[in-house]
Structure 1
């Protein structure tokens, strides 16, 4: 059988390259979960902030052709509740847990990273830089290399955990963004986060989402995500985690061939909770068919 394991982060080897994406898999505590987390390479919990957040006004989700618009607004119980309620559960799992963190200032990012440092059950941090920077007029932290690097540097200085920075596509140059966070100490990058979008109800003559705009995910964004992963993988030395519209094993294999070391599956799991596990099996079957024995033969294959 092929070896699907990968070395993603310093001191962290995953059993396979498929990761449950933040915001689409909760905290993994659902008693009747249809997808066995033990079969995944890693699990990213819902975005976590310093204090509890109620999220945006309803409606917060809308289906689009081949995609999903969401404006959840980072609803979560806050970092203290995550540490007290969920980390003890994660500590008993064999699958590594990454905590996705979000904040409105560089100082808040640092405080979150410090609070989560050395908490049993947490293997790494994924830093969401698609958040609004209040001090900069609510522009995304990831909109410029300078602000993205500032967040990365602050988080790295506050924690001993490996740091993954999740890049926003809502920027003029995602390669420059990736290189900036790499220079600031990021151990890996994941991309892409959602594209900004909206919908209007023509009968009510109003935006559909309560927040007016939201993040577009799902199959519709895959070609954009794939192109960005290809470009970034050729420009940085740290591992790249590909995400954005991955629905099938074939999609995941494209991202791996583009240079991603691992992939995150999100929106697809909302439609089919077993999608991440089916994608793992599909990668394995592809490797068997093409007589590949290890992931290094697949990763970056379209670049050689």
Structure 2
């Protein structure tokens, strides 16, 4: 086999090993931040199903109750959610990271957010001290605008300030900035992050906000009325976003949004993603879908006569 050419002999099994901002993953699949990242036991359960890394639910300095129920509603092509960034606060969240470390060796990503620009370095420093493999900085949640104002990603100067301030306190922990597709020019915003020290980009967050109305009660289905849209319906937006980001930056990308199959994950990788986030699909198909996606990735590589994902990463950009 010639590793440089990415060609393998028929007897060899393709490798899914992925290097993400210096972190070694056995698979490119990453549990996206969400409800499965609330406890150490849940995170460890996901880790046993062939995931490359797990991500905590986004947490803040103070405990947040979030929005009133109902907060999540499924529809034919995805989910509408307005959880409202509910979380137990930094002390409980960092203890979850430490407990997870005793249960699993699969890398863990700590997802954090702040109510103000000044809060971001404070929560990032506390999260980094818990020893995650990577910090994910959520500057793009679409369903708390009424409380926080426009997401911090909407202003390039604010985004630059948040990125720099988090990097200053993160120490040796790599930092990924989580962006959405809700403000356009996502490639330009990713470049702002890269220019101010980010080690990676996570894209995309939920799309929206959106709304669905219950025909019987003639009212919005969510207590918050509006919420972020996730699931299969946002895959084309996510793939396009990863494409735009890859054209703009050289740092790794965690492509997330609507991925539910090996074919979906391959689209992300071809668009330029280093790793691929999985979230809503687990609610539809369960944790058993993770090894199935891994197997599908291996079959694709074997069918192409390739030894690793490196051979196809970003290939859709080639003329």
Could you tell me the TM-score, scaled by structure 2's length? Answer: 0.89
| Distance (whole Å) between structure 2 residues aligned to residue 250 and residue 193 of structure 1 | 20
Local SS of the residue matching 1:271: helix
Which residue does the alignment assign to 1:125? Answer: 135
Which residue does the alignment assign to 1:194? Answer: 206
Q: How does 1:56-75 map to 2 (within 5 A)?
A: 56-75=67-86
| Distance (whole Å) between structure 1 residues aligned to residue 66 and residue 148 of structure 2 | 20
Which residue does the alignment assign to 1:230? Answer: 243
How many residue pairs align between the two structures?
Answer: 302
User: Out of 156, 172, 175, which is 1:145 matched to?
Assistant: 156
Does structure 1 retain, via aligned residues, the 8 Å contact 2:141–2:206?
no
Local SS of the residue matching 1:114: helix
Does structure 1 retain, via aligned residues, the 8 Å contact 2:40–2:96?
no
Local SS of the residue matching 1:39: coil
Deviation at 1:302, TM superposition (A): 1.5
Which residue does the alignment assign to 2:127? Answer: 116
Which residue does the alignment assign to 2:193? Answer: 181
| Distance (whole Å) between structure 2 residues aligned to residue 291 and residue 22 of structure 1 | 34
Does structure 2 retain, via aligned residues, the 8 Å contact 1:70–1:216?
yes
Which residue does the alignment assign to 1:218? Answer: 231
User: Is the aligned partner of 1:93 residue 2:107?
Assistant: no
Q: Which structure 1 residue ranges, 5 or more long, are not aligned? A: none
Which residue does the alignment assign to 2:21? Answer: 9
Q: Which structure 2 residue ranges, 5 or more long, are not aligned? A: 1-12
Does structure 1 retain, via aligned residues, the 8 Å contact 2:37–2:54?
no
- Note closer, same or farther for the CA distance 1:90–1:212 as it changes in structure 2 (3 Å cut): same
| Distance (whole Å) between structure 1 residues aligned to residue 184 and residue 50 of structure 2 | 37
| Distance (whole Å) between structure 1 residues aligned to residue 153 and residue 201 of structure 2 | 12
Local SS of the residue matching 1:260: coil
Deviation at 1:230, TM superposition (A): 0.8
1:9-68 deviation line (CA, Å, top 9, x unaligned): 13x111121101100422463479864436211101111111111110111111123110
Which residue does the alignment assign to 2:184? Answer: 172
| Distance (whole Å) between structure 2 residues aligned to residue 162 and residue 35 of structure 1 | 22
Which residue does the alignment assign to 2:265? Answer: 252
Local SS of the residue matching 1:105: coil
Deviation at 1:144, TM superposition (A): 2.4
User: Is the aligned partner of 1:301 residue 2:311?
Assistant: no
| Distance (whole Å) between structure 2 residues aligned to residue 36 and residue 105 of structure 1 | 32
Does structure 2 retain, via aligned residues, the 8 Å contact 1:144–1:171?
no
Does structure 2 retain, via aligned residues, the 8 Å contact 1:27–1:86?
no
**Aligned-CA RMSD value:** 2.2
User: Out of 295, 305, 315, which is 1:281 matched to?
Assistant: 295
| Distance (whole Å) between structure 1 residues aligned to residue 260 and residue 235 of structure 2 | 9
1:151-206 deviation line (CA, Å, top 9, x unaligned): 11111111111100111111131111111111111100011100111112233232
Deviation at 1:236, TM superposition (A): 0.4
| Distance (whole Å) between structure 2 residues aligned to residue 237 and residue 287 of structure 1 | 24
| Distance (whole Å) between structure 2 residues aligned to residue 65 and residue 100 of structure 1 | 28
| Distance (whole Å) between structure 2 residues aligned to residue 31 and residue 232 of structure 1 | 31
| Distance (whole Å) between structure 1 residues aligned to residue 147 and residue 86 of structure 2 | 23
